[in-house]
Amino acid sequence: MNIVEKNDRKEIILKLNDKLSESKFPHYWYGFKSFPMALYNFDEVYLVNYKELPEGYYVDGKVAIGKCTEKFAGNTIINLGGQCIVICNIDSLDEIIDLDKLYSKMVHEMFHGYQLENGDKRFPNEELYFTYKFTGEFLALRIKEREYLLKAVFEEDENIRKELISDFINTREYRCKLVGAGINYEYSIESIEGTATYVEYKALQKETSLPKKYIIAKYGEKLIQSNELKDFRFSCYFSGMFIALIMDSLSECWQEEYSNSEVYLYNYLKEQIEWTPKEIVPQINAYTSYILRNYEDSCKKELISFYINDGYNIILQGKFSITEFDPINTVSLDGKLLHKSSIKLNNKYIIKEKTLTTYENNNVLSASSVEFFIKDEPLITEGGIYIEDIGELKGKVIRTSKGYIVVFKQPFVDIRVKGSDLK
């Protein structure tokens, strides 16, 4: 293990930069190349491997240093001065950092830069997830799919492996009939995040020189154990990775062909193998019932916790578009979305507090009500209200026992997902 302490940001970014070698990247994926990367905290940004020095940055050795702006949020990829840059919040990391693991995570995000630059159209419509209807049958089938994937990757007998892949496809096709077009949400995450996780695995194995089967088994634990519905999106990363590993066993040059196609990764797999349709009988059991019950209880607790707040309760009423949000940190609650990280409304208002939005007619990112709490009392202005860090909101202001209601309307704009320049 390559271990460092996180108190020296400059040392960490330099060591990560030393790991970058253009000769490594085609090993991860055909045509793949490195991208600029940066570590940041609330104050400063440390940038390496850049092509052009961003405006306002200065050079200190091999590192460009600049001030942190609102563009820097989360561990993702952003557009900075026309360059796709991988960013990582140093404060989100443990005190002791495994450099090999951190490097592999940065390579994961770089692969999204590769996908964006190549015009990949398989990025997920995040809105679809919040319309899913989870049932015991749905979960039983999904759990079985993942078992088949794991077994297929580790199976050395070619005939048995093909039979396991066929069982996986049959089970998924049955579940697809239950979900309908919404299944494309999973297919798209497998195609985008699954291949990025596959690339991450290859980078980690290359850096650590640990046996491939050992590293794959570590990811396989996440494939099998990520059944909680709160981890639903994240769990698709691993099913996508294991589909990619199966493709490795079927073809040596699949990456180039797949990259040049527009089909989802799962559908690409179906095109490469002969499989025989057969009857599937879902096995609903106490475990699937537990998962559903636990998810429902967890969502209710999240909502109760939201209202346990001594701050000023702000309710915005009107028509709003949620134009930036973090799907990983969003909970669906029967006609409402609880956003546990920052959101942007109408491409204008950024709310950093936990926010509860209400929607109608399954249009989950068009809100009729937006509710949150703030610590300091807002300022009543002529024709509206001013809230620190958000700005002035124009509308009719109504005082309540716990805060304020602001009634106003804004035009709709396109949805934009946090961490991406895709609309």
Give me the pLDDT at residue 417, please: 47
Residue 148 and residue 109 share a domain: no
Residue 294 lies in a domain: no
CA distance 198 to 112: 12
Give me the pLDDT at residue 360, please: 82
> Where does a domain end: 85, 117, 149?
117
Residue 297 lies in a domain: no
Give me the pLDDT at residue 60, please: 94
Residue 139 lies in a domain: yes
**18 contacts: CB under 8 Å, gap ≥ 6:** none
Give me the pLDDT at residue 415, please: 43
Give me the pLDDT at residue 416, please: 44
Residue 111 and residue 222 share a domain: no
Domain count, the chain: 3
Give me the pLDDT at residue 295, please: 92
Residue 202 lies in a domain: yes
Residue 262 lies in a domain: yes
Residue 132 and residue 107 share a domain: no
For 402-423, the DSSP string reads: SEEEEE----------TT----
CA distance 53 to 64: 7
Contact 299, 331 (CB under 8 A): yes
Residue 263 and residue 142 share a domain: yes
**pTM value?**
0.88
**What does the pLDDT profile of the chain (423 residues) look like in tens digits?**
678 776 788 899 999 999 998 789 999 999 999 999 999 999 999 999 999 999 999 999 999 999 999 889 889 999 999 999 999 999 989 888 999 999 999 999 999 999 999 999 999 998 888 878 899 999 999 999 999 999 999 999 999 999 999 999 999 999 999 999 899 999 999 999 999 999 999 999 999 999 999 999 999 999 999 888 988 999 999 999 999 999 999 998 999 999 999 999 999 999 999 998 998 988 899 999 999 999 999 999 999 999 999 999 999 999 999 998 988 889 888 889 999 988 999 888 899 999 999 998 878 889 999 999 999 999 999 889 999 999 999 899 999 999 999 998 554 444 444 444 333
Residue 139 and residue 63 share a domain: no
> Where does a domain end: 117, 146, 162?
117
Residue 74 and residue 21 share a domain: yes
Residue 266 and residue 149 share a domain: yes
Residue 319 and residue 238 share a domain: no
**How far apart, in Å, are the Cα atoms of 89 and each of 13, 44, 46, 93?**
12, 10, 11, 7
**313 contacts: CB under 8 Å, gap ≥ 6:** 371, 373, 400, 402, 403, 404
Residue 355 lies in a domain: yes
Residue 155 and residue 131 share a domain: yes
Residue 254 and residue 329 share a domain: no
Residue-range definition of the domain harbouring residue 160: 126-272
| Helices (runs of H) and strands (runs of E) counted in the chain | 12, 20
Residue 135 and residue 37 share a domain: no
Residue 415 lies in a domain: no
> Where does a domain end: 272, 299, 329?
272
Residue 255 and residue 152 share a domain: yes
Residue 190 lies in a domain: yes
